[in-house]
Amino acid sequence: MKIIRCDCELETPHIDRTLRDWGHELTLMPENINEDELCLAMAECELLLMCYTPITSRVIVSAPRLRGIVKYGVGVDAIDIPSAHERGIAVVNIPTYAEETVAEGAFAMLIALAKKLMPLQKMLCTEGWAWPTARWLGYDIAGKTVGIVGCGRIGSSMARMAGAGFRARVVGYDPNKNFREMQALGIELYDNLHAMLAICDFVSLHVVLSDSTRHLIGAEELAVMKSTAILINTARGALVDENTLLHALQEGIIAGAGLDVFSQEPLNQKSHPLRALYSMENVILMPHFTFYTKEAMDRLEAETLERCKEIIEGRPVTIRSTDPRLQGDPV
């Protein structure tokens, strides 16, 4: 079988070696491949693995032999799933490999911002020492209110760390959860996002990106937050109106942000519209890395190969995601 794996900058040596050991022809494509180049490469492709590269309707139409698309990751917003299903192409993701991992990454940023660890480290590296002046005054997490937007697997892990681990009050907004489900997770349910944001000291986003959640956090939402609040986003950049967030950070509308994801990736310090973030002491930037641990990657590679084998052997593909976009059967 002819297989293409896009986004080869994300190294998956076990996947690559195993597919070749199984006797398949594997071609690796870079993350920045354009649509025209990918369409040409897809002419004889039977199985496509991708992580970030947009898989448009045009790409799908250009691949008459394509049998399956495996997203080796969670979010599927970069795939034109209706076009794939219309052509009988299976689409599957790997939704559970990094639930605790991403929550740990989000919490690490929350702690670092609350304790001002990044600017303190910079101060010590440049000046050798710092004194306990108002500039360095941090915040406790115990006794504060942590708001979780999206209380699925990752969000509920984040809630457990904040509540059971740090004795914070945990509140949550998730239209797909009821009171009893949230209570079982140790989360106080809020039906109104603005009402929840207004009481939070820390807000962490764990929502799937869709048409209804794009720019879920915009000017109105940032305006109702405390001026001392910190926003964490490890889900998808487009959940936030990023230009408005930049303004809010510059003007002190909120106190800080930890960002692992961006609408336009990668970031750069020369031309990116969010480049001003690099110089802000109250911001932590991550290069979409909160998923990236040895244990999570081991799980990701193993399950990706399971899904590949199902497609190669013509068996029904296991869909472990609850995302309704993946539930429809290919025709």
Name the residues annotated as catalytic. Answer: 236, 265, 288
> Measured on CA atoms in the order 289, 13, 29, 66, is the torsion positive or negative?
negative
Tell me how far apart the 2 most distant CA atoms of the chain are, in Å: 66
Dihedral over Cα of 132, 137, 143, 146: its sign: negative
Residue 282's φ and ψ, nearest 5 degrees, are: -95, 20
- Spatial CA neighbour of 241 closest among 261, 266, 224, 216: 216
Q: What is d(CA 71, CA 51) in angstroms, rounded to the nearest whole number? A: 5
Coil vs helix vs strand at 106: helix
* Residue linked to tokens 């190294």: 11
Rounded-to-integer distance, Cα 249 and Cα 186, Å: 30
Kindly provide the b/e burial profile for residues 140-151, where b requires at least 16 CB atoms within 10 angstroms of the residue's own CB. ebeebbbbbbbb
